[in-house]
Amino acid sequence: MIRIALPTGDMRRPVAQALAGTPLDSPDYAAGSRVYRLGLPDRGDVTIRVFRERDIPIQVALGNYQLGVCGGVWVEELRARYPAEDLSPLFPLAVGRGRLAALAAPEQAAQLGPLEEWQRFSGLRVVSEFGNLAEKIVAHLRLRRPRVYAVYGGAHAYPPEDADIALVHLGEDQQSPDGLVEMASFHESGLWVVANRRALAGLDLGEALASLRPAAAAVEGGLRLPTVAQSLGGPPLALERPERPAGVRLALPDGHQQPHALASVRDAGIELDGYGDADVQLRPRIAVDGVTVKVVRPQDMPQLVALGQFDMAITGRDWLADFLACFPDAPVEMAVDLGRSRYHIAAVVDEDLPATTVDEALACWHARGRRMIRVASEYPNLADRYARQRRLGRYQVVPIAGASEGFVPEDAEILIEGSETGKTIVANRLRVLERVFESTNCVVIHRGRRDDPVLQGLLERFRRGVPATTAVT
């Protein structure tokens, strides 16, 4: 059986177009089905699994999949930290091209100057969802005492107040977002066909690869690191940065949590300009004196508040719980349960597993010879805590980026997953074994800012706006 990993998200459409008319053409994949494990009508020896792009190089390197298609930048992200993994990039495809660009605010860009002169400055703050590549690049550039912040996404939102440079992947014709200046490009490529090195040596993958060859590109691209001087010498310079706004800094979420946060803000009687149903700006204007707002990913908020970069934020109780499971003494806490964006975090298993409890499930897996229990989750710290609390014995946490329901049963025994309707769980032939806890959106604050009168005024408004059926914490 040949197992192939294909991407979901923005790259799903171009990959489906590249596969159209080939033996790997899957109608369900092209249609954007909720189902993440797909078969092919005429190829019983091939299965397709749909992943978030960043997970594909890892799964192929581990040998769970023989072939995969993903962006070349994610291949380099894995190899930057694990260069010896069994991952072989085979050939690029002529779709999904883009570049990894260094962006800065105009004022900082003017100070930094050419790339070769960045090492004059000490303490440059670099933010990126490609944390391994960011570390590799700043080391190659010999930056003095750099600080790299790895985030889930939305890195372009951080300069200039919270970072000096954002490493962001831009589409081939995409311009710098939000008024930032593109300073340099370190990687250019499109999607790549990748293979497990051991599978190449031991299996016949020729027919599957032949289906992908017609979409191959003539230009490969790849990682490009410039030549820099050993040392420019002289004392380090400090980059002049804009002062962080005085008063209370509030972080609001983007993405699927944005409508719930907007409803909570409106129920609190707070006016916002630039955070509406059709208009979401990075820095909305709020009609509250002494408060400034920025929009970032909710996954990053507990850490940002704990570090003091924001005083308060609206995020999910799930992300707060995952952060505190790893850093229980961090100075961030829930101040108000807003009661929206309600869904359950649950332990999910194969629907055919003959078990109704965790103990019964363990007995089934052990009877099948499975001694290492694999627990997959976007919440790796919650998954680790769950495995210890439920006494799973030998277990392995598999951190993933999304498209979670496709991991069970082939690549994990248990999935710790959030579900609002349960439709995707059912579509992938899974079921809930037990619920772990219920998540809602909430206001989190930095513990050291509890007594700030402006912050307390905001909290009181949020408390008054909580739906009557929701308990307030």
For residue 166, the Cα-to-chain-centroid distance in whole angstroms is: 16
Pick the more confident residue, 319 or 14. 319
pLDDT class for 244, splitting at 50, 70, 90? confident
DSSP code of residue 243? P
pLDDT of residue 245: 80
410: left (phi over 0), alpha (psi -120 to 50) or beta: alpha
Average model confidence (pLDDT) across the chain:
92
When pLDDT is averaged across residues 200-207 and rounded to a whole number, the result is 89
Residue 169: phi, psi to the nearest 5?
-90, 120
**Looking at domain 2-95+190-219, which CATH architecture does it have?**
3-Layer(aba) Sandwich (3.40)
pLDDT > 80? residue 358 = yes
pLDDT attached to residue 469: 60
Cα torsion angle, 71, 73, 78, 82, sign:
positive
**DSSP H or E stretch at residue 51:** strand 43-51
pLDDT of residue 468: 67
What is the assigned CATH class of domain 248-342+440-465?
Answer: alpha beta
Each residue's pLDDT tens digit, 399-419: 999 889 999 999 999 999 998
Q: What is the mean pLDDT of residues 217-234?
A: 79
Tokens at 434, concatenated: 């037990």
207 has pLDDT over 80: yes
pLDDT (0 to 100) of residue 442 = 97
Query: Higher-confidence residue: 213 or 447?
Result: 447
pLDDT category of residue 19 using cuts at 50, 70 and 90: confident
CATH code for the structural domain at 98-188 = 3.40.190.10
pLDDT of residue 221: 78
Pairing outcome for strands 312-316 and 248-253 = parallel
Is this prediction's pTM over 0.85?
A: yes
pLDDT band at 473 (very low <50, low <70, confident <90, very high): very low
- Say what percent of the chain tops pLDDT 70: 99
How many separate helices (H) and strands (E) can be counted in the chain? 15, 24
Contact call for residues 23 and 211 (beta carbons, < 8 A) = yes
Q: Where are the domains of the chain?
A: 2-95+190-219, 98-188, 248-342+440-465, 343-439
**pLDDT tens digits, 141-196:** 999 999 999 999 999 999 999 999 999 999 988 998 889 999 999 999 889 999 99
Give, to the nearest 10 degrees, the angle between helix 380-389 and helix 317-326: 70
Distance CA 98, CA 188 (A): 6
Query: For residue 119, how many other CB atoms are within 10 A of its CB?
Result: 22
Is 70 exceeded by the pLDDT of residue 472?
no
**Residue 197 pLDDT more than 50?**
yes
Asked whether this chain's domains 2-95+190-219 and 248-342+440-465 adopt the same fold, the reply is yes
End-to-end CA distance of the chain: 52
Residue with token string 């670099």: 126
Tens digit of each residue's pLDDT (9 = 90 or more) over 287-346: 999 999 999 999 999 999 999 999 999 999 999 999 999 999 999 999 999 999 999 999
* CATH code of the domain made up of 343-439: 3.40.190.10
Cβ neighbours of 116 (radius 10 Å):
14
Alpha-helical segments (H) within 317-465: 317-326, 358-367, 380-389, 423-427, 453-465
Mean pLDDT of 39-50: 82
Strands 272-275 and 280-286: antiparallel
Measured between alpha carbons, how far is 24 from 36 in angstroms, rounded to an integer? 15
Distances (CA, A) of 41 to 6, 19, 45, 51: 17, 14, 10, 21
Query: Which secondary structure element, helix H or strand E, spans residue 185, and what is its range?
Result: strand 181-189
